[in-house]
Structure 1
Amino acid sequence: MKKHFLKTGMAALVALALLQSCKKDSTPKGGGDNNGGGTDNGGSTVIIPPNNPDLAATQGFFLDGWQAKTFATPVSPKIVAKPAAGSVTATVDLSQVITKVSKNLFGNNTNPFMGQYVDQPVLMQQLTDLSPNILRFPGGSLSDIYFWNGSNKAPDDAPAQLLNYAGTSASAGYWYGNNTANWTFTLDNYYKVLQQTNSTGLITVNYGYARYGTSDKPAEAAAHLAADWVRYDKGRTKYWEIGNENYGNWEAGYRINLATNKDGQPAILTGALYGIHFKIFADSIRKAAAEVGNTGIKIGMVTTEADEKDNTSTIIQGWNSGAMTTSAASPDYYVVHNYYTPYMQNSSPEVILATPQPATANMMSWVKTSLQNAGLTQKPVALDEWNIFATGSKQMVSNIAGLHAVMVLGELLKNQYSMASRWDLANAWDNGDDHGMFNNSMNSSNTELGAPAWNARPAFYYMYFFQKYFGDRMVSSSVTGSPDIISYGSSFQSGQAGVVLVNRSSLDRAVTVNIKNFAAGANYYYYTLSGGTDNVPFSRKVYVNGAGPAGDSGGPAAYKTIAANSAAIAGGIIVTVPARGSVFLVAEGKK
């Protein structure tokens, strides 16, 4: 970090000297100063142009094809009065670019227990509007018991019974990619959803079968099954990964029956063995990809998100060290998962909203350290499952979960992750302990009562407006006057500046936005999102510029046509960030 700062600082000094020698009318488009409150001072202050940082190794090829972003000025905004300025100031500095914004950070997880939802127009339209860009499939832990080419029968060498972590035998409960029953989701329908929503696929292949398979060479058999999927895929999917959370004792294949194993594997999986198997899978998959012309295929490896010593009861010790050593340079990227809050605790808003900043940074630090200790080169890091584990008060379906999602997205950008996919699109109601972004109306026995089919939860609206009002580059931002206000700054290639503000406290806060190194235009536009008065403090509702849901949960049906709030930049950019709410703001640049 120090080295990067010195490099940036030197570039800024050189740029400043050059600009001071230029004529006033040679200021590049988008330059200018807002004099601390968003107003242009006539160009008397030199504007430092933005730096152009190198692409982080933790992002890599996931930013291939990155595109600049043009902000569409609202056609009929609602003119609103500014609040009185308070003691809180958010400062956004357009000269300090942190990273380009990857569209792959807004992903989500689909799964085979959502039903054949491709024929559900309400959900499909909302999913298209959300623009997740990445949709992971088929799971989740069921990836390790999923046979993509089956309909209702597993391969002969897949046992009917599997062992759990304690050695108890139970029905394997396999899932199949060609099961056309209405309660599940076929592989072909997954491909249709990708096409209809303009999303990129991320497929998790069955690693567990390499452990519990009863053939002479179970790892090779499982790798061959995965390779056949790649052949069937015919180049439609670039991103693949081997297994899901295989370091955990909850995963199929953690413990196997030694009486039926024929290649001398240990009863309990190790990271080192997974790394050896990873190379077998990767070699088979790459060969298959070459056969179908998928030369850009990328394969991810399962990695722990924190030191395994922090969890000695359920996590395989030394997982990262062993897996990274034996897989060596074979992985193209590394996969982590994080559910942020303490497991199955009735966490408060304060606990939940305190997790995104430290957990996201610590997770990246752990993967970097693991690779350094293994003597390996840094490669992209993907967070392809994330949410909260808080239960008991409907936290997962609440406005607080939406606010948490905003912070996670901001912290992922700050820490330069390559890709992220939230878990998940739809699950089961379970009295509000439901990770689903949408009400799963296909699960009639466990659906949200009183909510329409595929009703969107608050997190949908927060993630929709984040992507809509965040630019193509994240820039430096900071807050003074309150530790409860968090800011994430951005810039648009088309000349605007933006900021996302989060208020973690239970009181409304007036925030003045100071945009440095920016030639301000006439107006700023913003959306304000906040919860309702129901189920305090975990409201199941979200209001967008005052518009809320027609029913007991979710948000406004007309979210795409709600007028943006607007005020003049002259006199300062000041907004009220509601208690446990967020503001998504864009300021015009000088034309």
Structure 2
Amino acid sequence: MLRSATRTRWVRGVAWMAAVLLGAAGLTGYSAAATTASTAVSVNATGGLGQIPSNAIGLNTAVYDGHMNDPAIPGLVKAAGITALRYPGGSYADIYNWQTNVAQGGYDAPNTSFADFMKTAQATGANPIITVNYGTGTEDLAQAWVRNADVTNNYGITYWEVGNEIYGNGTYGANWEADSHCTDASGKPVTVGSAPSQTYNCGPATYAANVLKYITAMKAASPNIHVCAVLTTPGYWPDGVTNPTTSPQPWNQTVLSTLGAKTDCVIVHYYPGGSTAAAMLSTPDGIAGITSTLRSQISRYAGVDPAGVKIVVTETNSTIDLDTQPAALFGADMYMTWLEHGVTNVDWWNEHNGVGTPSMVNGAQDYGDQGIFSNGTNGSGVTEPAVNTPFSPYYAIQMLSKLGSPGDQMVTSSSGNALVRTHAVRRANGSLDVLIDNEDPSTTYTVSLSYNNFTPSGSPTVFTLANNGTSITSTTQSSASSVTVAPYTLTVVQVPGSGGTGTTAPGAPGQPTVSNLTSSSATLSWPAATAGSYPIARYDVYSGTSVAATTTGTSVGLTGLTIGTSYTYNVVAVDNHGNASLPSPPVTFTVPPPANSTCAVHYEVTSSWNGGFGASITVTNRATTAVNGWNLTFAWPDAGEAVQAGWNGTWSQTGQQVSVTNADWNRTIAAGGSVSLGFNGTNTGAAPAPTVFSLNGTVCSSV
């Protein structure tokens, strides 16, 4: 699906370094015949989505990039607001020895050693994210790296990955990632660099067992680091794929089940693709399902609270229209969507990469370059601009620095038009910033702005990245109630205002937690806020824009909850002069079925493949009398899921609702007895399990 781009990523890097550096060529702007329309954006200033993490906005570097540490790079990276740098670069991580600065079978550019990289990272103030060598390395080599970085040099590097895309080692019949743990079909160790497409003895069980060794060794050197395991991205190959010989259970299930309580950090990559710019620009809509599925898998298979497990997206880009405005629009929306769903860090691929497959995009030259900076080479009939000239994604990242900074509070916002995407941030001083991402290539919108629990005051500052712009412009306007956005532009409106000022208001309450969760009620608790100029008088608990409860304490009881429904709450502290704090981080939970129902259902995915899966369902009658004639119903959480063919009952599906009626021969379920049924299903992305099953109208327990 996306693997062809990933397989050749570092090979292309070697190729472009052999190219001759030539002169610059500028981007050509384009203006379509535009139409005008109106739409609306609403911001809920108390709908907290968590703080922007300190290492949120990241960028990949690579040891084959001779411009990685150019003198211009620190200034450019810092000016963009990039707060994390990943090293040593994609698949190269699995052939790279940090001690010798040698990549087995690859190319190491001069001045790209770990020490060189750290000089650049420190000059930018960015947080390093390091991928240790799993493919051809050892846990001892990784431990030495941690010790050198965090003990000898006191760099304080927090995030360490064990390998890159290890599932690409031939376990699933495609091989782009070096892995010396693998054998061929005869059991002979593979030769790194010429391994067969299908390998053996190096699947998820082998990887997970070795990750446990890496965790032990690396944390022995520095106990407080996060050691991150590689997972497949839900909904993207090879997620859910099984192989009787090399991966009897899916990769994520196997890895998380083995790591168990030692799971504290996982990484995924995100190359969503799309056959057109419009299709690509819509892909961030699937991020909510990806994060939800990851947390469900962490809870189910690792058996730990997913709230305590960091999720890191260490590679991503638009995959098409890579250096022109569609990539900028995608990048801004994609970064913020991941962060709003609780991801700690997102890293664009790449700093420099080189000419790929060039094309013209809305009149502008796209070089097919996955870097955010030009490397000044030529190829495929085009010549890039001068070395380190920023491409459009760079300016998108820079626009995010106008939206918010680490520690600022992301809040909910909504748009009346699917092509006008929006994100919002509350600054520490109480002001509110709104990002408007106009993905319509031909329509200028007058956007009306409305605010819940926020009162604008003063003149907003408006920052704009024009279509294929090479700089960000700014202006001030008198009104905070509307803004005009041109086609294919990014706009940030910085709105001064009240509703929680940083000088007098209380601090935001801490992370809420849920306890005593039943099928109808729960207890919500949170750490107390710090008083500002005046004592705290109360806490308002918000569900969306509505106050669900008010209390003078730090917990409330929630009642009247609906089974299978997900709820999100934020807490706001209010002092005795009416000054409101910024919102707490959100807490989201799904109400479980009753534990003591007269029926119980066990649902399990038994096999999976690209675009489909098989599942079994066991229904148990817990009542004291037999069930004579039954109907089982459930709903898919994701609209892309469907039953293709089922057995041991008559299956039907309407929309996302599924119904199964007994066959003649299994219509009776004796008291204490069970009936088994199953199906093959299809999915178009992540395939989360149903949460509520009902037997003849009675909600069943989940077992």
Q: How does 1:263-282 map to 2 (within 5 A)?
A: 267-282=200-215
1:508 aligns with 2:437: no
Q: Which amino acid aligns with 2:142?
A: A
* C-alpha deviation, 1:122, in angstroms: 2.7
* C-alpha deviation, 1:260, in angstroms: 4.4
1:298 aligns with 2:226: yes
* C-alpha deviation, 1:446, in angstroms: 8.7
1:352 aligns with 2:280: yes
* C-alpha deviation, 1:310, in angstroms: 5.7
Q: Give 2:300's match in structure 1, choosing from 347, 353, 373.
A: 373
SS in structure 1 at match of 2:262: coil
* C-alpha deviation, 1:440, in angstroms: 1.8
Whole-Å separation in 1 of the counterparts to 2:36 and 2:200: 65
Aligned to 1:547: none
SS in structure 2 at match of 1:328: helix
Relative to 1, partners in 2 of residues 1:447 and 1:427: Cα closer, same or farther, differing over 3 Å? Answer: farther
Q: Contact 1:428–1:446 at 8 Å: present in 2 too?
A: no
TM-score (norm 1): 0.67
Aligned to 1:582: 490
Relative to 1, partners in 2 of residues 1:447 and 1:473: Cα closer, same or farther, differing over 3 Å? Answer: farther
* C-alpha deviation, 1:117, in angstroms: 3.9
Aligned to 1:228: 144
Q: Which amino acid aligns with 1:352?
A: M
Relative to 1, partners in 2 of residues 1:356 and 1:366: Cα closer, same or farther, differing over 3 Å? Answer: same
Runs of at least 5 residues in structure 1 that lack an aligned partner in the other structure = 1-83, 155-171, 211-221, 290-294, 532-541, 544-554
* C-alpha deviation, 1:519, in angstroms: 2.5
Whole-Å separation in 2 of the counterparts to 1:271 and 1:117: 33
Q: Contact 1:113–1:427 at 8 Å: present in 2 too?
A: no
Aligned to 2:392: 458
How large is the RMSD of aligned CA atoms in angstroms?
A: 2.7
Q: Contact 2:37–2:444 at 8 Å: present in 1 too?
A: no
Hey, which of these two has a bigger chunk of helix by percent?
Answer: 1
Deviations 1:301-331 (A, max 9, x none): 1011115666759996611111111122223
SS in structure 2 at match of 1:396: coil
Q: How does 1:203-282 map to 2 (within 5 A)?
A: 203-209=130-136, 222-233=138-149, 234=152, 235-236=154-155, 237-248=157-168, 249=170, 250-253=176-179, 255-256=182-183, 258-260=187-189, 267-282=200-215
Relative to 1, partners in 2 of residues 1:417 and 1:528: Cα closer, same or farther, differing over 3 Å? Answer: same
Greater RCO, CA 8 A, separation 6+: 1
Relative to 1, partners in 2 of residues 1:135 and 1:567: Cα closer, same or farther, differing over 3 Å? Answer: same
* C-alpha deviation, 1:416, in angstroms: 1.3
SS in structure 2 at match of 1:490: strand
Relative to 1, partners in 2 of residues 1:310 and 1:260: Cα closer, same or farther, differing over 3 Å? Answer: closer
Greater mean alpha carbon deviation, residues 138-147 or residues 429-438: 429-438
* C-alpha deviation, 1:114, in angstroms: 1.5
Deviations 1:99-135 (A, max 9, x none): 11223221111111211543x3333311121231111
Aligned to 1:162: none
Aligned to 2:656: none
Whole-Å separation in 1 of the counterparts to 2:381 and 2:373: 10
Aligned to 1:187: 114
Relative to 1, partners in 2 of residues 1:505 and 1:151: Cα closer, same or farther, differing over 3 Å? Answer: closer
Q: How does 1:337-416 map to 2 (within 5 A)?
A: 337-342=269-274, 347-358=275-286, 360-377=287-304, 378=306, 379-390=309-320, 395-416=321-342
Whole-Å separation in 1 of the counterparts to 2:224 and 2:241: 38
Runs of at least 5 residues in structure 2 that lack an aligned partner in the other structure = 1-34, 171-175, 191-198, 359-366, 502-703
Q: Which amino acid aligns with 2:478?
A: A
Whole-Å separation in 2 of the counterparts to 1:524 and 1:512: 14
Whole-Å separation in 2 of the counterparts to 1:313 and 1:440: 40
Whole-Å separation in 2 of the counterparts to 1:107 and 1:238: 14
SS in structure 1 at match of 2:412: strand
Aligned to 2:124: 197
Q: Give 2:84's match in structure 1, choosing from 123, 131, 134.
A: 134
% of aligned pairs identical? 23
Q: How does 1:160-175 map to 2 (within 5 A)?
A: 173-174=105-106
Q: Contact 2:226–2:265 at 8 Å: present in 1 too?
A: yes
Q: Give 2:261's match in structure 1, choosing from 318, 329, 343.
A: 329
* C-alpha deviation, 1:362, in angstroms: 2.1
Whole-Å separation in 2 of the counterparts to 1:190 and 1:450: 25
Q: Contact 1:502–1:581 at 8 Å: present in 2 too?
A: yes
Q: Contact 2:355–2:384 at 8 Å: present in 1 too?
A: no
Q: Which amino acid aligns with 1:275?
A: A
Aligned to 1:486: 421
Aligned to 2:403: 469
Relative to 1, partners in 2 of residues 1:309 and 1:113: Cα closer, same or farther, differing over 3 Å? Answer: closer
Whole-Å separation in 2 of the counterparts to 1:125 and 1:309: 39
Question: Larger Cα Rg: Structure 1 or Structure 2?
Answer: 2
Q: Which amino acid aligns with 1:470?
A: G
Q: Contact 1:477–1:489 at 8 Å: present in 2 too?
A: yes
Relative to 1, partners in 2 of residues 1:525 and 1:473: Cα closer, same or farther, differing over 3 Å? Answer: same
Aligned to 1:66: none
* C-alpha deviation, 1:448, in angstroms: 6.5
Aligned to 1:550: none
Q: Which amino acid aligns with 1:197?
A: T
Whole-Å separation in 2 of the counterparts to 1:523 and 1:473: 21
Q: Which amino acid aligns with 1:259?
A: K
Q: Contact 1:439–1:447 at 8 Å: present in 2 too?
A: no
Q: How does 1:95-134 map to 2 (within 5 A)?
A: 95-115=46-66, 117-118=68-69, 120-134=70-84
Whole-Å separation in 2 of the counterparts to 1:313 and 1:204: 26
Whole-Å separation in 2 of the counterparts to 1:128 and 1:331: 32
* C-alpha deviation, 1:238, in angstroms: 1.8
Q: Which amino acid aligns with 1:499?
A: V
Q: Contact 1:88–1:510 at 8 Å: present in 2 too?
A: yes
Whole-Å separation in 1 of the counterparts to 2:294 and 2:381: 38
Deviations 1:12-58 (A, max 9, x none): xxxxxxxxxxxxxxxxxxxxxxxxxxxxxxxxxxxxxxxxxxxxxxx
Q: Which amino acid aligns with 2:426?
A: S
Whole-Å separation in 2 of the counterparts to 1:324 and 1:127: 35
Hey, which of these two has a bigger chunk of strand by percent?
Answer: 2
